[in-house]
């Protein structure tokens, strides 16, 4: 970016997130309109999808996925919050869109994929507040006739991928603390459990898997720390409760009646150690937390290659988890 004023210093790029987001020394920000993963959309027409406005105050939309149904049995509702380090990503990106199409048809489920405000323009807790607003929207969505015909509002599952997995954690905490009428109840909707897919957590002290992560990894340490610099409140460290659920500044989760959790990790993911430790600590507090590890898998393997054997196995894990906690 060059200055048009010869007396004004040239702005230098100081932060770059996958060439999608650039931050400059003068405080200016540029965002590319192109998706981060320009893969072909794989849509066979079996899942109807449409975008709906859920938060007019911030012009936020979600994408609703409705698989074909014989009308005999209503389907669970499965929320999916996209990843991107709280800084990039959208429901429109084809890799996320493809995965939601697959979730809708393979689970099967009515999939809800909300967008949320991104950092650094909107630092945390903006994304967390937006995500909670999308759950509140569900309390009024029964009036959406098409959704009401196929969705079982008594079986809601909240999931997220990477930063979306962190969002799922914070929603679980907020719900357990009394968010929603009667812990997890939003109008006719009842949240049964949460699914954290390689959740994006952090801490000032790097874990072994973070410290030993190769530079050419899909999510490497430099990008990981950059996301936190851009998304946490100004002046906060990676031990802030938004990033480190068990950090020195974080309130205890022990008193909370958390809903069941499924935590999915990849054996070669930078976040592997931190996420596995999160699941173990939840279990140590007497919470229902299941840890599933996919050996040899890097961060986001299921959206990068949704047709892989490992992604298909993850889908089987999700189906089993939903069946177990369907009530």
Q: Is 162 a catalytic residue?
A: yes
Contacts of 136 (CB under 8 A, 6+ apart): 180, 186
Segments of 125-188 assigned E as strands: 151-161, 185-186
Rounded Cα distance, 149 and 157, in Å: 18
Looking at the chain, how many residues does it have? 327
Cα 184 to Cα 158, 193, 260, distances in angstroms: 11, 9, 12
Catalytic residue among 134, 159, 162, 166: 162
- With a CB cutoff of 8 Å and minimum separation 6, the contacts of 181 are 187
Asked if residues 190 and 154 have their Cβ atoms less than 8 Å apart, the reply is yes
Q: What is the CA radius of gyration of the chain?
A: 19
- Distance, C-alpha 317 to centroid of its chain: 18
CB 198 within 8 A of CB 265: yes
DSSP assignment of 171-229: HHHHHHTT-TTTTSEETTEEEEEEEEES-----SSPPHHHHT--TTSSS-HHHHHHHHH
**Residues annotated catalytic, as ranges:** 162
């Amino acid at each position: 970016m060059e200055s048009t004023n010869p007396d004004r210093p040239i702005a230098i790029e100081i932060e770059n997130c996958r060439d999608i987001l650039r931050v400059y020394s003068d405080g200016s920000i540029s965002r590319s309109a192109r998706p981060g993963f320009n893969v072909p959309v794989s849509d066979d027409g079996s899942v109807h999808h449409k975008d709906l406005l859920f938060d007019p105050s911030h012009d936020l939309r979600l994408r609703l996925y409705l698989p074909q149904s014989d009308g005999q049995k209503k389907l669970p509702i499965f929320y999916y919050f996209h990843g991107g380090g709280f800084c990039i990503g959208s429901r429109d990106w084809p890799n996320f869109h493809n995965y939601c199409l697959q979730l809708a048809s393979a689970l099967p489920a009515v999939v809800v994929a909300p967008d949320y405000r991104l950092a650094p323009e909107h630092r945390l807790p903006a994304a967390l507040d937006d995500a909670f607003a999308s759950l509140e929207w569900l309390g009024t969505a029964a009036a959406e006739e098409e959704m009401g015909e196929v969705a079982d509002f008594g079986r809601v599952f909240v999931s997220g991928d990477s930063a979306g997995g962190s969002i799922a954690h914070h929603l679980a905490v907020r719900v357990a603390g009394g968010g929603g009428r009667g812990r997890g109840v939003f109008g006719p909707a009842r949240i049964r459990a949460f699914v954290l897919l390689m959740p994006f957590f952090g801490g000032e002290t790097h874990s072994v898997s973070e410290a030993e992560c190769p530079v050419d990894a899909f999510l490497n340490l430099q990008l990981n720390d950059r996301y936190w610099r851009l998304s946490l409140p100004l002046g906060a460290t990676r031990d802030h409760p938004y990033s480190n659920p068990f950090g020195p500044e974080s309130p205890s989760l022990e008193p909370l009646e958390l809903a069941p959790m499924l935590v999915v990790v990849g054996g070669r993911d930078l976040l592997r150690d931190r996420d596995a430790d999160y699941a173990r600590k939840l279990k140590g507090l007497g919470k229902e937390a299941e840890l599933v590890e996919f050996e040899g898998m890097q961060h986001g393997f299921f959206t990068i290659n949704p047709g892989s054997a490992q992604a298909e196995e993850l889908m089987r894990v999700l189906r089993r988890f939903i069946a177990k906690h369907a009530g």
